Amino acid sequence: MSAERLLLSQKYKEFLACDAPVEFLEGTTAAGKTTVGIFKFMLKVAQSPKKIHILSGLDLGTIEKNIINKDLGILDDFGALAEYNAGGKGKYSLPHIVFHTSKGDKIIYVLGYDNKARWKKALGGQYGCVYIDEINIADMEYVREVSMRCDYLLATLTSYSQSSADTFAFVFTGITACEFTRDELTGYECEVFAFNLNGKMSLQEIIAHANKGGFDAILAPHLNAHTNFAYGTEAYYYPGDARGRAIADNICKELSVTLGIPQRSNGIDDGGDKASTYFGFVRQTKATAILLETCFISTDSEAKRIDEAHEQKAVGQAIARGIVKALGLRKKAVVPPTVKYGIVITAFCGVVFSKQKADEFVKVFWDGKKGNYCRALTNGNSHFVEMQAYLKKSDAHAKADALELLGWSATVKVM
């Protein structure tokens, strides 16, 4: 048992008392979604009349680390009441938790939605309670299938766009597409940085700069090459990094469509996203790091797809779309410039304003209580009065026409 204590706030108690067939917990990274959610999930399992339940996440390693074995996780919260069998046991060959309750032992299958073959094998009946960790990056086929087979569903999702992906950085690697990606992302609610613009930084210098920069996510786009015939797009992320997987997966999908090339299969599904600790950039960078292999320039059929400037721009925009979809980034609000139309008066009854007359006009006309805008201006030897502002050009012209009828020389100008 950890030294930490599970403290129940009033809001937490109200959440535990709430009885609904489907519940979602959304929040930023480290907001406590799992700590809160998994405890209620286990209580619902204990109350359920059914024996079989499901606990699911990105993969087994992620579930074990973030849900089962963590401080205030399942084993910590329930101690001897929960028994985890990572390799299966007895007639239950899949990884599972045996939960000893007052209603008898409950079996909770532990499924990674990254392994389609395994979860398809498990989903053959009806279940009591289902928990889906990070549902926003889950296989949608899995979500549809499992949600129709349970009495109670609890899911968590991370709000990346609100806090955890505020800063996004690019390591420039000589690929023109990087510039288009950066330019595209500046229109969204995130800060975008770029470094290694001259391409002279070593790998260790890049990693050191990335770790000092305090970035939330960082992408290094590359062009792939092979001595033999090879093709397709792929992207690497650190194992268990849900955000990294989401970015890698969506970028590969967008590039595959844009370039008309396949995704290099990760061995689990058709996606080009691959978990790996092989690359130092992915392994040693503190932030979410994605190493992107855009396509194979050693393969003529792929190299010719990025020859022209417009093709490179399309690649950059595809990468940006993948990032936007993965993180749920919203476009920055565009505030249109407010155009106002003012009236300029230069004379009365044919007599051109002197500075004294312009000042006198302002004193007579201006009334702060009515909010009238009026000021005397001088341009060289010319003196005039600028007054009132209108949002509609037609309103300004109507006022100028009325002043003309009274003997004032009035024109409309854009302010």
* Residue 109 Ramachandran class (φ > 0 left, ψ -120 to 50 alpha, else beta): beta
pLDDT at 371: 52
pLDDT at 21: 95
Instruction: Dig out the tokens for 114 from the structure.
Output: 């990254």
Cβ count near 254 (within 10 Å): 22
* Residue 297 Ramachandran class (φ > 0 left, ψ -120 to 50 alpha, else beta): alpha
3-state secondary structure (DSSP) of residue 140: helix
**Pairing relation of β-strands 341-348 and 408-414?**
antiparallel
- Residues 83-131: pLDDT tens digits? 999 999 999 999 999 999 999 999 999 998 877 888 888 888 899 999 9
Cβ count near 74 (within 10 Å): 25
The angle that helices 242-259 and 309-327 make with each other, rounded to 10 degrees, is 150
Q: Which residues of the chain, if any, have pLDDT below 50?
A: 1-2, 160-165, 368-369
Backbone angles phi, psi at 42, to 5 degrees: -65, -35
Q: Considering only CA atoms, which of 209, 219, 176, 199 is closest in space to residue 316? A: 176
CA angle 138, 140, 144 (to 5 degrees): 120
Strand segments (E) across 61-200? 82-85, 96-101, 104-112, 127-132, 150-158, 167-171, 191-195
pLDDT at 68: 94
* Residue 349 Ramachandran class (φ > 0 left, ψ -120 to 50 alpha, else beta): left
Q: How far is 190 from 167, CA to CA, in rounded Å?
A: 6
Sequence-separated (6 or more) residues with CB below 8 Å from residue 54? 108, 109, 111, 122, 127, 129, 130, 131, 146, 150
pLDDT at 367: 52
Q: How far is 295 from 292, CA to CA, in rounded Å?
A: 9
pLDDT at 123: 85
Q: Considering only CA atoms, which of 413, 390, 410 is closest in space to residue 402? A: 410
Q: How far is 263 from 243, CA to CA, in rounded Å?
A: 19
Q: Considering only CA atoms, which of 265, 273, 268, 248 is closest in space to residue 325? A: 248
DSSP string, 179-242: HHHHHHHTTBSSEEEEE-TTS---HHHHHHHHHHHT-SEEEEEEEE--SS----BEEEE-TT-H
Contact present, 218 and 210 (Cβ < 8 Å): yes
Instruction: Classify residue 190 by burial, with Cβ atoms within 10 Å: 0-12, 13-18, 19+.
Output: buried
Contact present, 42 and 48 (Cβ < 8 Å): no
Provide the β-strand partners of residue 236: 274, 291
Provide the β-strand partners of residue 188: 331
